[in-house]
Amino acid sequence: MARSDKVAAVAELTERFKNSSAAVLTEYRGLTVTQLSQLRSQLGADTQYAVVKNTLTAIAAKDAGVDVFEGDLQLSGPSAIAFIGGDPVEAAKSLRDFARTNPNLVIRGGVMDGKSLSAAEVTRLADLESREVLLAKAAGAMKAKLYQAAYMFTAPASKAVRTIEALREKQASTGEAA
């Protein structure tokens, strides 16, 4: 029979999978408790970093409808998962930066929107600019296009005004001379 503490752990992990926008699987072998605390603080309030039991995590992932922990991205060895509730790019950047300074943290892969991510794809995700920067760039591009459209609509009218003014000046100068 299943023990009640294991059932509770599976239920908690299932809930975390369902409530997360993404999850990144890591191997933490060789990291100290202090380093893990540092990592948790770097990840921020929207991301929960949890050391997990592989068999319970596999059961919870299946219960949550996440089938990516089979095949290439197997749960083996000491595993921890970053359950990302906020911006996946920011969390991926934090994990990548921490892994650079602490080579004992190994990013194995992850899942985002129900799709499996390899370790290289998580790194590429970390290389993206933040959501705010991308939105600012999109707003700037839209503003530039609107400016171009406004210029195109006003250009014929302003050209006509300049042409009429030039004709008036020409008539005034020829009329005064005559």
Query: Which pLDDT score, from 0 to 100, does residue 178 have?
Result: 45
**Model pLDDT, residue 2:** 62
* pLDDT level of residue 14 (50, 70, 90 thresholds): confident
Does residue 72 register a pLDDT over 80? no
Which single residue is written with the structure tokens 């994990």?
95
The set of residues, in sequence order, having a beta carbon less than 8 Å from that of 9 and lying 6+ positions away, is 53, 56, 60
Task: Report d(CA 87, CA 100) in Å as an integer.
Answer: 20
Kindly give, in sequence order, each residue whose CB lies less than 8 Å from that of residue 81, ignoring residues fewer than 6 positions away: 23, 24, 25, 26, 49, 50, 52, 57
Six-digit token pair at 41? 């603080």
Beta-bridge partner residues of 118 = 109
What is the predicted pLDDT for the residue at 114? 75
Residues 97 and 20: their CA atoms lie apart, in Å, by 21
Please give the Cα distance from 159 to 166 (Å, whole number): 10
DSSP symbol at 68: -
Could you tell me where the DSSP H helices lie in the chain?
Answer: 4-19, 33-43, 54-64, 88-101, 119-127, 131-177
Q: What is the CATH number of domain 4-128?
A: 3.30.70.1730
- Site of tokens 């009429």: 164
Domain boundaries, the chain: 4-128, 130-178
Per residue in 101-110, pLDDT (tens digit) is: 888 888 888 8
CA angle 157, 158, 159 (to 5 degrees): 90
Q: What percentage of the chain exceeds 70 in pLDDT?
A: 93
Q: Measure the CA–CA gap between 103 and 136, rounded to whole angstroms.
A: 34
Q: Is the per-residue pLDDT at 147 higher than 70?
A: yes
What pLDDT, on a 0 to 100 scale, did the predictor assign at position 73? 58
> Mean pLDDT throughout 92-104?
88
